[in-house]
Homo-oligomer: A and B are copies of this chain.
Amino acid sequence: MTGAGGAPDGFPVTMREIASEAGVHPSTVSRALRRARSGLPPASQRESNILQITERLGYTPDPTASSLRGGQSRAIGVLVPRLTDTVLATIYDSIESAAHRAGYEAFVANSNDDPDLQARRLQLLLSRRVDGIILGDARRDQDLSAVARTTHLVLVSRGHPDLPSATCDDFRGGWLAGDHLARLGHTTFAVVAGPPWAQTSFDRTTGFRAALAEHGLRLRTEDVYEVGFDTESGRTAGDRMLARRTPPTAVFAMNDHSAIGVMGALRAKGLRPGTDVAVVGFNDIPIAAELPIPLTSVRSPLQRMAEEAADMLLRLMSGGSAASVKLEPTLNVRASSDPTVDPVVDG
């Protein structure tokens, strides 16, 4: 039975083999396993025998076959704009864990924040017969009603008025950043925003602007750099704002990675974050606190957000309903905006 050409010979055990080993009909095996999965005790001598054989032969049912016949896949799909973004990776990770705890499998797909790709990946997930989808890359202007009619759909991170979502209160997050910087006495600002279709970016900017307004300050359109969420975006925006006649003294970036990009731009110009230009990021990823100049950041509860989204989807899939939740962000002030905190020691 060993292949000659070096090709591996996969011999997955099938239900039929279990059945013949136990001297029963395959359907009896199917029933025994179903009972066992539900946590019920074996209904007969035979059943416990079947379970033993299953164990011994290391049998696991073919999920594609069961979903083809049974209609349910016990799998959910997750669509993210970018898996290389720590934030999204963290969210997916937590969703995956929550799904596993509930006995579901999870699949991720990457949309690269591109509507065409998004549609295709969505199609892919649906063709894999997932029982529901968590969308992490919804677009503000997008009509998702068709998708929502096809499968159970929950949004995470980026909300949408028509659909249930688990998000951070991004307006509040932006407000916290704006209020903080205004209180420090800054009067000229820049915002390193994500793409215009991201609800997160929109709300954070709006909240930031609102906070400034409360202090009688204004954020001009040209002070908002719609670039993206990664390090390079931050660097680009930073270079551009510093090339201006009156550069800002305070910068709010919507992602810690882009905030670090801004720090890089400052350093290149001989400026120091915190003392020369205040920098505030968003999400408070683990490295933020450990940077040579620790980064002030709005912390969003990513794991809870992910768990809420997973819970909502599980509820929908079992016939229940789900209402959107908005989680409270908190501001962690560090030396990048306030040098009196975590002071940097000069050697």
- Mostly helix, strand, loop or mixed at chain A's interface? mixed
Beta-carbon contact of B149 and A8 below 8 Å: yes
Given contacts A93-B83, A319-B7, contact A290 B272 (CB under 8 A): no
Q: What are 20 A-B residue pairs whose CB atoms fall within 8 Å in the complex?
A: A5-B319, A6-B321, A7-B152, A8-B149, A10-B126, A61-B127, A64-B64, A64-B67, A65-B68, A83-B89, A84-B89, A105-B124, A230-B286, A235-B290, A260-B291, A263-B290, A264-B289, A267-B294, A270-B345, A272-B346
Beta-carbon contact of A123 and B60 below 8 Å: yes
* Residues on B with beta carbons closer than 8 Å to the beta carbon of A61: 127
Beta-carbon contact of B10 and A150 below 8 Å: yes
* Residues on B with beta carbons closer than 8 Å to the beta carbon of A292: 263, 267, 272-273, 291-293
Number of interface residues of A (CB under 8 A): 73
Given contacts A126-B12, A267-B345, contact A231 B286 (CB under 8 A): yes
* Residues on B with beta carbons closer than 8 Å to the beta carbon of A110: 93, 96
- Residue of A8, A126, A234, A257 with most partner-chain B CB within 10 A: A8
A9 within 8 A of B: yes
Given contacts A86-B84, A126-B10, contact A272 B63 (CB under 8 A): no
Determine how many copies of this chain the complex contains.
2
A residues adjacent to B (C-beta < 8 A): 5-12, 60-65, 67-68, 83-84, 86, 89-90, 92-93, 96, 105, 107-108, 110, 123-124, 126-129, 148-153, 230-232, 234-235, 257, 260-261, 263-265, 267, 270-273, 275-276, 286-287, 289-294, 319, 321, 342, 344-347
* Residues on B with beta carbons closer than 8 Å to the beta carbon of A272: 292, 345-347
* Residues on B with beta carbons closer than 8 Å to the beta carbon of A342: 267
Cβ of A68 to closest chain B Cβ, rounded Å? 6
Closest residue of B by beta carbon distance from A336: B292
A60→B60 CA distance, assembly (Å)? 28
A273→B275 CA distance, assembly (Å)? 19
Q: Contact partner of A8 among B150, B232, B286, B287, CB < 8 A?
A: B150
Contacts A96-B110, A346-B346 aside, 16 further interface pairs with beta carbons under 8 A come to A5-B319, A8-B153, A9-B149, A62-B127, A62-B129, A68-B68, A84-B86, A84-B90, A93-B110, A108-B108, A231-B286, A263-B290, A267-B290, A270-B345, A272-B347, A287-B287
